[in-house]
Amino acid sequence: MAGVFEQSGSARNGGLKVIVVGGGIAGLSIAAALGETASVTLLEREGHLGYHTSGRSAALFSETYGNELVRALSVASRPAFVEGGFFEHKRGALHFGAPGDDTGIDALASAQQQLVPSVRRLTAEQVEELVPVIARVTTCGGVFEPDAMDIDTGKMLQAAAAATKAAGGRIVTGAEVLEISRHAGGLRVETNAGTFETDIVVNASGAWADVVAARAGLSPLGLSPKRRTAFLFDAPAGMDIRSWPLVVDLRESFYFKPDAGRLIGSLADETDSPPCDAYPEDLDVAIAVDRIEQSTALRIGRPSTPWAGLRTFSPDRSPVAGFDPRLPGFFWLAGQGGYGFQVSLALSRFSAALLSGVSIPQDMVDLGVTAGMLSPDRFLAPSKYQP
C-alpha cells in the first residue's frame, strides 16, 4: 500500500525535516509521499485524523468534475486509486435536465466527451430506465459518466497514516499551531503540544490554511471555506437502488446518491463560512428536500442524520501547491475545494517532487500541469514578495 504514496524521482533528502500541518487527506497524502525521503511530523489540531472535511465527503471520483486543471489532476490520480484498492464500486454519475433543457444537456455532453470519451448523452427514456424515479415526461435526457467511482475514504486515510508511520514519520493530534517563525535557517512551530523545529512547513490545514499562514506572519491568499449540507433518507419501498448513479440536476442545485442501502441528498450548496466545525442548517435541508421531490418521484418525508462540511476554494477554484516566496520553507497545499480526495494522490506526488527538488511527474506534464498553475504566486502581488 505504501507504494501508492511514493514520490516520483530518485532524490533522497537525508536529514530534511518537514512538518505537515493538517490531518485530512491532503496532509496525510503528502506526509506519506515524503516519508521515504524526509523526516516527517504531521500536526493535527483535532483529537483524531480526518475530523473535518475529509470525514464528511460524498466520496465520489469523477473525471468530469471541476475545472480543467482539477480534471487533469483527477485523471493523474486514477492509477494510484486502482493500485491502492481505494475504489469501492463503479457508481456512475448522471446530470439530467428538465424539459426544455436540451441545449444545455447537449453542450454538457459535448464538453464532457472531449475529456472523458466514455461519457454518453442519454435520452429521456434512458434516464428513466437508469433512475426510475425520474419520469421520462419530466426530463429532456441527461449526460452519463459510467466510470465515476465510489471511494473508500476511510481506507485512504488509514493507508496514508500507516505509510507515514511505517516510514518513521510521527503523527501528533491535539496540536494546534500557534505561531510559525524563522529560526536558525529553518522554521520554528509553536503549538499547544510543544515546539517543533523544521526545514519546511507544509500548510495543508484545509479551511484553516489562511489562518495558519497568518500565524506565520503572512497575509492570506484569499481562500474561501464554503459550507455544504447533506442528509440521509430512505429509498422507495421495494425499489433496488444499488445500481443508481450519483444524480445531479443540470444546474447543480441538488444531488442524491446511494449509500449503504439508503440515499444521500444535498442542496449542493456553497455557503460562505468562517473556518469552523460546520453544522447543517435546517433551511438548507428543507430546500434540498423540496427540490428533489419537485424533480423526481422520491418522497423523502423526514430526512435523518444531517451533516455539513467545509469545501475550501482558492480565488480561481484550483488547488494551491508550492512554496510561498515571502517565507522560505513555507509550502502551501490547500484550496482543493470539493475535489480533495479525487486529486489527492496526484497532488501529493506533485508536491513531493517540488519539495524534494526533482522533476514534476511526467504523467502530469503530459496532461499539461505546470508548477505555475498551482503556485501561490498567482495570488500574490509582486510588491508583496520578500527576498
Predicted confidence band of residue 270 (pLDDT cuts 50, 70, 90): very high
Which helix H or strand E contains 179, and what residues bound it? strand 177-183
pLDDT digits (tens, 9 = 90+) for 30-43: 999 998 899 999 99
- Maximum Cα–Cα distance across the chain: 70
* Strand 246-249, strand 93-97: pairing: parallel
The domain ranges of the chain are 2-55+153-222+316-384, 90-149+224-313
Q: Rounded mean pLDDT of the chain?
A: 92
Percent of the chain with pLDDT over 70: 93
CATH class of 90-149+224-313: alpha beta
Q: Cell digits for 292?
A: 428533489
HSE (CB half, 13 Å, CA atoms) of 76? 25
Beta strands in 199-314 (DSSP E): 200-203, 224-233, 246-249, 255-259, 262-266, 271-272, 304-313
pLDDT (0 to 100) of residue 383: 38
Q: Cell digits for 165?
A: 508511520
Q: Cell digits for 310?
A: 467545509
Predicted confidence band of residue 342 (pLDDT cuts 50, 70, 90): very high
Predicted confidence band of residue 97 (pLDDT cuts 50, 70, 90): very high
Predicted confidence band of residue 53 (pLDDT cuts 50, 70, 90): low
Q: Average of pLDDT values for 206-220?
A: 97
Using left for φ > 0, alpha for ψ between -120 and 50, and beta otherwise, residue 349 falls in alpha
Predicted confidence band of residue 49 (pLDDT cuts 50, 70, 90): confident
What kind of fold does domain 2-55+153-222+316-384 have according to CATH?
FAD/NAD(P)-binding domain (3.50.50)
Please, where are the H alpha helices in the chain? 25-34, 68-84, 102-115, 124-130, 153-166, 209-214, 282-295, 340-356, 362-366, 371-374
Q: Cell digits for 103?
A: 441545449
Residue 340 has pLDDT above 50, yes or no: yes
**pTM of this prediction?**
0.92
Q: Average of pLDDT values for 177-182?
A: 96
